[in-house]
């Protein structure tokens, strides 16, 4: 067990140093010497400074990753897995500090045990199970088979909302396959990724295999997919930025996966267990202050239970306590001023657009909230499917209730957005569950489950504008490999 960080004190942990990023195993400032301030979103106090990395730093990181590549790629896969298992153990040993770093950086109250050690072990288990196949041949003196090989140096760009798991997803899976990586965390929440990278080094993962360049998206971020040394990219973030990253990958002729946003429906049928559905839906939209790509932000509810559902949702959301991360509360602030303005803008759009404000809609006041980017859990009723708040991702604790008259309309409304990340169905009827599971356009469908599957190793990713490619499934590591077909003609037998 590690020490608890005093919430009011300066950040002080051996896992972090001031103003450094990781390039080729060295902890270095930006080439430019410039820095970015990382603040605590609950009070705007300075938490740390990070390097303002740019294309020069990305270039240095790609070169370091190129240098590390041959030995890492050729290390046997079981040895790579062992290093990932050791990394998982160190993450577990430092769980408390990592949790506090991420909480402080994102502004989130403790949300239970970290998924990171389990993710690392799940991925490590795949490292030495990446197989090719044998192929039939035209002639007995030829053998044919495929091997799966890493792409080489790969890149990733991640958002701020769950920086530890996002970092793990991209880094662990790509390096397990034998790639080396350059990753840029979001400038709003880079601390847990830097600490995880330190633990990767401590675990014995060689210098240059994992490189972390911190900085702004338009500078360090943009330099990754456009660097000629990068052979594949993983991006998690907004559709607008995803599209920019994909353009850069297109120019560079490299593949990528995109994990983008969501506007996930919670479809509630008349036979649903409303006493289970309402608190789960309320928890789903307020967890991490609604800043979860998978958050169920639209309740598409049958008119016969509409009124009761709204009452139950209001009751459940009313109970959600708000405050700074170190207090015993359910919900912290939003990540930054821009996000706060954005969420408040959507709340105004809901009001002026004619939706009925049932709960929240404002900012909590009082000393505890100080300068923080807080907003109250907000519930809108009688939202029309074409309203802005029903169509666009708010990324805040704002829930829209849309009443419908039948299953057909429920499907049309649920699918009537650009996104397709997660969808949930609430029903006790297996027939409804089966039909809806097939009809909903989403990468994950949860039946009587608010945040998607809740299974181990479920592939995660989007339909439609929510992106493409899947992470965390049984193919997580294989997805970071390319296929080579080998045909081998043997010498004919002497004398023939």
Going by their DSSP bridges, the two strands 256-259 and 467-468 should be labelled as antiparallel
Q: Toward ligand NAP, which CB reaches closer, 267 or 293?
A: 293
Contact 184, 214 (CB under 8 A): yes
CB of 107 to ligand NAP, least distance (A): 14
Q: Which of 187, 293, 393, 441 is catalytic?
A: 293
CB of 260 to ligand NAP, least distance (A): 5
Interface map 306-325 toward ligand NAP (x if CB under 6 A): --------------------
Torsion of CA 426, 430, 434, 437, to 10 degrees: 20
Interaction with ligand NAP in 397-426: which residues (CB under 6 A)? 421
Q: Which of 259, 315, 367, 392 is catalytic?
A: 259
Question: Could you tell me the two tokens for 477?
Answer: 């590591």
Selected binder of ligand NAP within 117, 152, 261, 377 (CB under 6 A): 261
Q: Toward ligand NAP, which CB reaches closer, 90 or 258?
A: 258
DSSP helix/strand/coil, 484? strand
Task: Determine the interface stretch with ligand NAP among 196-204, 260-268, 313-321, 481-489 (rule: CB under 6 A).
Answer: 260-268
> 250: how many CB neighbours lie within 10 A of its CB?
11
Question: Could you tell me the two tokens for 318?
Answer: 């009313």
CB of 262 to ligand NAP, least distance (A): 6
Phi, psi dihedrals of residue 389, rounded to the nearest 5°: -70, -15
Distance, CA of 178 to chain centre: 22
Q: Toward ligand NAP, which CB reaches closer, 269 or 395?
A: 395
Residue 82 burial by Cβ neighbours in a 10 Å radius (0-12, 13-18, 19+): middle
Phi, psi dihedrals of residue 453, rounded to the nearest 5°: -70, -45
Question: Could you tell me the two tokens for 301?
Answer: 């509810």
CA angle 444, 462, 133 (to 5 degrees): 90
Q: Toward ligand NAP, which CB reaches closer, 31 or 55?
A: 55
Selected binder of ligand NAP within 23, 393, 400, 439 (CB under 6 A): 393
Contact 101, 65 (CB under 8 A): no
Selected binder of ligand NAP within 57, 59, 99, 259 (CB under 6 A): 259
Q: Toward ligand NAP, which CB reaches closer, 218 or 273?
A: 218
Interface map 421-450 toward ligand NAP (x if CB under 6 A): x-----------------------------
CB of 35 to ligand NAP, least distance (A): 14
DSSP helix/strand/coil, 126? helix
DSSP helix/strand/coil, 457? coil
Q: Examine residue 218 and tell whether it contacts ligand NAP (CB under 6 A).
A: yes
CB of 20 to ligand NAP, least distance (A): 17
Q: Examine residue 161 and tell whether it contacts ligand NAP (CB under 6 A).
A: yes
Give the residue at shortest CB distance from ligand NAP. 217
Phi, psi dihedrals of residue 37, rounded to the nearest 5°: -90, 135
Q: Examine residue 221 and tell whether it contacts ligand NAP (CB under 6 A).
A: yes
Contact 21, 214 (CB under 8 A): yes
Residue 117 burial by Cβ neighbours in a 10 Å radius (0-12, 13-18, 19+): buried
Q: Examine residue 160 and tell whether it contacts ligand NAP (CB under 6 A).
A: yes
Q: Examine residue 222 and tell whether it contacts ligand NAP (CB under 6 A).
A: yes
Phi, psi dihedrals of residue 328, rounded to the nearest 5°: -80, 70
CA 181 – CA 420 distance, rounded (Å): 29
Q: Toward ligand NAP, which CB reaches closer, 192 or 358?
A: 192
Q: With contacts defined by CB under 6 A, how many residues of the chain interact with ligand NAP? A: 29
DSSP helix/strand/coil, 135? strand
Interaction with ligand NAP in 343-382: which residues (CB under 6 A)? none
Interaction with ligand NAP in 225-254: which residues (CB under 6 A)? 236-238, 241, 244-245
Task: Determine the interface stretch with ligand NAP among 117-125, 138-146, 210-218, 379-387 (rule: CB under 6 A).
Answer: 210-218
Interaction with ligand NAP in 172-201: which residues (CB under 6 A)? 184, 186-188
Selected binder of ligand NAP within 5, 97, 230, 260 (CB under 6 A): 260
Interaction with ligand NAP in 134-153: which residues (CB under 6 A)? none
Active site residue 293: yes
Q: Examine residue 157 and tell whether it contacts ligand NAP (CB under 6 A).
A: yes
Task: Determine the interface stretch with ligand NAP among 24-32, 217-225, 364-372, 422-430 (rule: CB under 6 A).
Answer: 217-225
DSSP helix/strand/coil, 149? strand
CA 4 – CA 17 distance, rounded (Å): 18
Burial profile 217-228: b = 16 or more Cβ within 10 angstroms, e = fewer: bebbbbbbbbbe
Selected binder of ligand NAP within 87, 325, 395, 463 (CB under 6 A): 395
Active site residue 249: no
Please list, in sequence order, all residues whose beta carbon lies within 8 angstroms of the beta carbon of residue 357, skipping any fewer than 6 positions away: 350, 351, 378, 379, 380
CB of 442 to ligand NAP, least distance (A): 11
Going by their DSSP bridges, the two strands 35-39 and 46-51 should be labelled as antiparallel
Contact 113, 95 (CB under 8 A): yes
Q: Which residues bind ligand NAP (CB under 6 A)?
A: 157-161, 184, 186-188, 216-218, 221-222, 236-238, 241, 244-245, 259-262, 293, 393, 395, 421, 462
Which residues are marked as active site?
A: 259, 293
């Amino acid at each position: 067990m590690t020490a608890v960080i005093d919430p009011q004190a300066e950040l002080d942990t051996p896992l972090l140093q001031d103003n450094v990023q990781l390039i080729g195993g060295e902890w270095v400032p930006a080439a430019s010497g410039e820095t970015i301030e990382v603040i605590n979103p609950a009070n705007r106090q300075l938490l740390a400074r990070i390097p303002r990395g740019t294309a020069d730093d990305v270039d240095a990181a790609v070169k370091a990753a190129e240098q590390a590549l041959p030995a890492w790629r050729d290390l046997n896969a079981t040895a790579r897995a062992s290093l990932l298992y050791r990394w998982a153990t160190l993450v577990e040993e430092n769980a408390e500090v990592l949790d506090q770093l991420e909480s402080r950086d994102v502004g989130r109250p403790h949300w239970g045990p970290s998924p990171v050690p389990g993710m690392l072990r799940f991925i490590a288990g795949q490292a030495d199970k990446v197989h090719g196949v044998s192929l039939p041949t035209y002639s007995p003196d030829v053998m044919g088979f495929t091997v799966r090989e890493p792409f080489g140096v790969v890149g990733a760009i991640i958002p701020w909302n769950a920086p530890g798991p996002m970092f793990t997803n991209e880094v662990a899976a790509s390096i397990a396959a034998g790639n080396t990586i350059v990753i840029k965390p979001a400038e709003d929440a880079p601390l847990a990724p830097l600490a995880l990278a330190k633990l990767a080094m401590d675990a014995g993962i060689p210098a240059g295999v994992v490189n972390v360049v911190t900085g702004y998206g338009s500078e360090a971020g943009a330099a990754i997919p456009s660097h000629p040394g990068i052979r594949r990219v993983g991006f998690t973030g907004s559709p607008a930025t995803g599209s920019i990253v994909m353009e850069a990958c297109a120019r560079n002729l490299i593949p990528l996966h995109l994990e983008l946003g969501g506007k996930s429906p919670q479809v509630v049928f008349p036979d649903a267990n409303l006493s289970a559905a309402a608190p789960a839906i309320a928890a789903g939209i307020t967890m991490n202050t609604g800043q979860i790509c998978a958050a169920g932000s639209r309740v598409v509810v049958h008119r016969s239970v509409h009124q009761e559902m709204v009452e139950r949702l209001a009751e459940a959301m009313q109970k959600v306590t708000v405050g700074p991360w170190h207090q015993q509360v359910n919900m912290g602030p939003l990540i930054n001023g821009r996000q706060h303005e954005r969420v408040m803008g959507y709340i105004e759009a809901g009001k002026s657009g004619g939706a009925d404000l049932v709960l929240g809609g404002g900012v909590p006041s009082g000393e505890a909230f100080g300068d923080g980017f807080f907003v109250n859990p907000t519930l809108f009723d009688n939202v029309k499917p074409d309203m802005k708040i029903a169509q666009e991702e708010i990324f805040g604790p704002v829930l829209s209730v849309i009443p419908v008259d039948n299953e057909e309309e429920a499907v049309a409304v649920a699918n009537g957005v650009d996104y397709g990340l997660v969808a949930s169905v609430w029903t006790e009827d297996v027939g409804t569950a089966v039909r809806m599971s097939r009809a909903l356009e989403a990468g994950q469908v949860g039946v009587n489950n608010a945040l998607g599957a809740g299974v181990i190793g479920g592939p995660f990713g989007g339909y439609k504008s929510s992106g493409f490619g899947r992470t965390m499934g049984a193919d997580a590591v294989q997805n970071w490999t390319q296929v080579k077909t080998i045909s081998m003609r043997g010498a004919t037998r002497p004398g023939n």
